[in-house]
Amino acid sequence: MHAPHNTPTIFLEGKKTILRPLNKETDIPSLVTWINDPDIRRFIANYLPFTISMEEQWFESRSKDTHHHIVLGIEARVDDEYVFIGTMGLHNIDWKHRFLTTGAMIGEKKYWGQGFGTDAKMTILDYVFNTLNMHKVCSDVISYNKRSLNYSLHCGYNVEGVRKKHFFQQGRYYDVIELGLFKKDWLPIWRAYQKTGRVK
């Protein structure tokens, strides 16, 4: 885990978090720890042991393909310090049809359920709709990932479909829930969040 610090690089700033470019030297050890953690791995696509060199290759590929993927680090503001707790990604960016897919990982488990993921998501959605001028945002959630589903729905996403028995985990198949979000549905929630710091 990264030690807290006071002088973060800031790309986007929310109420409780900042989003910043990833740092190869300092962030990769945390990313490898999180991706291999069974409690986290069950919510993401990875199912093989993940090494430092594999993560470095992923980092390089994403760094060279910002036209299609943008991945930022999430830092939580805690007692006037900043702590690296996860990542927020924009994937498969389609500049013609103006849609993309979001994905998030809060790797520091002690910060789960404290609103940091919601703040980071609302902050990235502001960037997506009001800077990148995207028309639609998509996301997929494994049916047993209730935390991710609920916070996505709170941020304005709507269920658009279900891929039945599409994800294999721990000896059985699970549905994958397809979510979609348009700016008109998100904007009232964003305005309320700016005023109150709450999405509902």
- pLDDT digits 0-9 by tens, 148-171: 999 899 999 999 999 999 999 989
% of the chain at pLDDT higher than 70: 96
Label residues 87-97 b or e (16+ Cβ within 10 Å = b). bbbbeebeeee
Could you state, in order of their start, the residue ranges of all structural domains in the chain?
Answer: 12-195
Residues 6+ apart with CB under 8 A from 53: none
Q: pLDDT category, 3, cuts 50, 70, 90?
A: low
Residue 6, pLDDT > 70, answer: no
pLDDT given for residue 199 in this prediction: 86
Q: Which of 57-71, 79-93, 150-164, 176-190 has the lowest mean pLDDT?
A: 57-71
Pair of tokens at residue 21: 């470019």
Residue 195, pLDDT > 70, answer: yes
Q: pLDDT category, 66, cuts 50, 70, 90?
A: confident
- pLDDT one-digit tens code per residue, 88-140: 999 999 999 999 999 999 999 999 999 999 999 999 999 999 999 999 999 99
Pair of tokens at residue 77: 């503001």
Question: Is 12-195 a domain of CATH 3.10.20.600?
Answer: no
Residue 1, pLDDT > 60, answer: no
